Structure 1
Amino acid sequence: MAQQKDIIVKDLHELYELMELPDIGDSSGFTINYLQDIFKQLPFRSVSFRPNFFSFLFIQEAFGNYTIDDLQFPIQPGTVYFTNPGNFRIFEWHSITEACLITFNESYLKEYVHSDVYREFSFLLTETVEPRVLSDEQFEVLEQLYRQIHREHLGGSPYKNQLIGTLMVVLLLKIKEYFFQDYNPIVEGTRSSRIVKEFKLNLENHIRELLSGKVQQQMRVQDFADRQLLHPTYLSQVIKSKTGKSISTWIADKLVTEARVLLQDQDLSVKEIANRLGFLEAPHFSNYFKKHTSLSPADYRKQLLQ
């Protein structure tokens, strides 16, 4: 396995392929699998990488280490780990009896969980969350939920994604209850971490204002820097160094995610969607969407119907 440095991976399928692990056979934006079925040869140390997805790791019984940015945490039974897109990480497995990993991207959240998911679950934007060792009773509640999600994921229901989305709402609410009742975001991490979190919040609020019609023009890097009273070059450097992605890439990912959701509504014309997202002309939006997805909005809609 080639040891590359600081790789950005779009999903778990891509990460496992990079590390020559068994193919999980899913690139849909959501995965759930038991790690004892994946990691047969232990100990195992991953490449250093930055995921472009969220993950929850439920450790029933396993041991190892997990590195998030410059922090290292032990992997131990009864622990739940949460990480969001952009964090640098490495994981090491020493032994695995049972551990379940759920990953999902923002598009999946917006489509199947809630279109305004960050309003209810703002902790998803938190830059660094320390793992939490739960009581036996708390872990059992989560275990029942992820086992049900796993069953639905393997099942053939025509409503599979909707069922999983509903169960994910319950899971996120329980995570919120167990992790964040006493969480104080003001003391979170370093100054750089707080800058990144504030940028993510500002970006999310800006997209919400675009969609609601409160603003009609997309914010620039300078505008985001002004919100935090920072020089745009400094803000850009912090975002790039902490997340591995530039501000323009963060903005593009956000706009494309929202465009995908809006394009599912067949009653909305491409021109209307372009206006909602702050594009002055529909052709500009179409070119932008195709640049980031390799599909025109019309072709994307055809793909949805198929």
Structure 2
Amino acid sequence: MPGDDEINFTILSVPNIHQELPFKSPVLRAEYFSFILTKKGSGVYKLDDNTFPFGDKSIYFTNPGHIKSYELYSSKEAQIIMLTEKFLQENVHPEIYSEFPFLLAEIVPPNEQTETEFKELEMLFNQVDFEFKNDSKYKDKVIGNMILILLMKIKERFWANYNPLVEGEHSSRIVKSFKKILESEFKKILGDKQGHVKLQAQYFAEQLNLHPNYLNSVLKSKTGRTLSDWISQRTLSVSKSLLVDSSLSLKEISYLLGYSEPTHFSRFFKKNTKLSPRAFRTANKRL
């Protein structure tokens, strides 16, 4: 969250933090979730290449990893909740994305509420604000239960038919960006024979400004495959190509693929093919 990596939850009054209007925010890539409830106000949210106008009685949420900004034209009554994946998992639900897959949605326009619907959400936000200012030792758990209700309301009203796999097949920016980086790393091997490539989960997450756990959840939800699955399957495919179509030694191939020891590579290869790299090379040698 802004200026303090130790803060996992906060709720703020938008008019209090933006007293001079109109206001145009800088472009940023946040590492937290945000839920914005606007009772009276207007402006636009910009998410990657999308622009969403919003007005009175609307709710909007964003998740980590996106390039985002916003403009406020007016803001008389509005609140924003910002919380991290850690807070959600520890205080709302340990399998937060399984229970609420819409949290992985990448394109989420603001949703305008009816008067009755908005009042329910407003009561929740106000109660969260009250508990946040309280010094109870159970504060996080109490707030977590209220966030659970908020997520249930959102799930019930707007996301009953949300299917992250369908979104992933068509327009997932995070999945596309990950695949591009993955291919770039392997291009160094197949094209330029440059090692030592970086095939660790942490590396890919850092390139996308995401937590490794969040990136893994996005990939698993939207493609059905985990981060390690993607890396392993591509590593296996490229290693087969190098064994058959190059004269590189097993030690050189191991190094190119990021393994510190050839025995580690051999163990990985045999586990996935039932053959040692040497036996696979012999069996598939070009005539």
Contact 2:205 2:212 in 1 (8 A): no
Say if 1:236 and 1:105 are closer, same or farther in 2 by CA, change over 3 A.
farther
Describe the SS at the equivalent of 1:175.
helix
Q: How far 1:234 sits from its partner (Å)?
A: 5.5
Quick check: 1:254 aligned with 2:212? yes
Query: How far apart are residue 12 of structure 1 and its match?
Result: 3.0
SS of the counterpart of 1:98?
A: strand
Task: Give TM-score, length-normalised by structure 1.
Answer: 0.58
Q: 1:151 to 1:13 in 2, by over 3 A?
A: farther
Q: Which amino acid aligns with 1:158?
A: K
Please tell me whether Structure 1 or Structure 2 has the larger radius of gyration of its CA atoms: 2
Q: Where does residue 181 of structure 1 map in the other structure?
A: 160
Instruction: Decide which of 168, 176, 183 is 1:233's aligned counterpart.
Output: 183
Give the residue type in structure 2 aligned to 1:253. Answer: H
Per the alignment, residue 78 of structure 1 pairs with 57
Q: Give the SS at the match of 1:74.
A: strand
Question: 1 CA distance for matches of 2:19 and 2:42?
Answer: 14
Looking at structure 2, the residues matched to 252 and 136 of structure 1 have their Cα atoms a distance apart, in angstroms, of 36
**3-state SS in 2 of match to 1:77:** coil
Number of the residue aligned with 1:172: 151
Aligned pair in 2 of structure 1 residues 155, 235: CA closer, same or farther (>3 Å)?
A: farther
Partner of 1:159: 138
What is the alpha-carbon root mean square deviation over aligned residues? 3.3
Q: CA deviation at 1:253?
A: 2.9
Residue 137 of structure 2: SS of its match in structure 1? coil
- Counterpart position of 2:107: 128
- Structure 1: where are the runs of 5+ without partners? 1-10, 15-25, 200-220, 238-244, 257-306
C-alpha offsets along residues 256-279 of structure 1, whole Å, 9 cap, x if unaligned? Answer: 9xxxxxxxxxxxxxxxxxxxxxxx
Query: Is 1:57 matched with 2:36?
Result: yes
Task: Please state whether the residue corresponding to 2:7 is helix, strand or coil.
Answer: coil
- In the superposition, the TM-score normalised over structure 2's length comes to 0.62
Residue in structure 2 matched with residue 139 of structure 1 by the alignment: 118
> What SS does structure 2 have at the residue aligned with 1:97?
strand
Work out whether residues 60 and 79 of structure 1, in 8 Å CA contact, stay in contact via their aligned partners in 2. Answer: yes
Once the two structures are superposed, what CA deviation does each residue of 1:49-106 show, in whole Å capped at 9, x if it has no partner? 1101111111111011111111111120011111100111111111111011001111
SS in 2 for 1:12: coil
- Give the Cα–Cα distance (whole angstroms) in 2 for the partners of residues 194 and 253 of structure 1: 17
User: In the alignment, residue 49 of structure 1 is paired with which amino acid?
Assistant: L
In the alignment, structure 1 residue 66 sits paired with structure 2 residue 24: no
CA offsets, 1:140-163, max 9 Å, x none? 111111110000000111110110
Residues 235 and 39 (structure 1), Cα distance of their counterparts in 2 relative to 1, 3 Å cut: farther
For the 8 Å contact 1:57–1:102, the answer to whether it is kept is yes
Q: 1:56 to 1:182 in 2, by over 3 A?
A: same
Unaligned ranges ≥5, structure 2: 188-201, 215-287
Give runs of aligned pairs for residues 1-80 of structure 1, distance below 5 A. 11-13=1-3, 27-80=6-59
Q: In 2, Cα distance between the equivalents of 1:112 and 1:128?
A: 26
The one-letter amino acid of 1:41's match is: E
Runs of 4+ in 1 over 6 A off after TM superposition: none
Q: What amino acid does structure 1 have at the position aligned with 2:97? A: Y
The alpha carbon displacement at 1:126 in A equals: 1.2
Identical aligned residues as a percent: 35
Q: CA deviation at 1:194?
A: 2.2
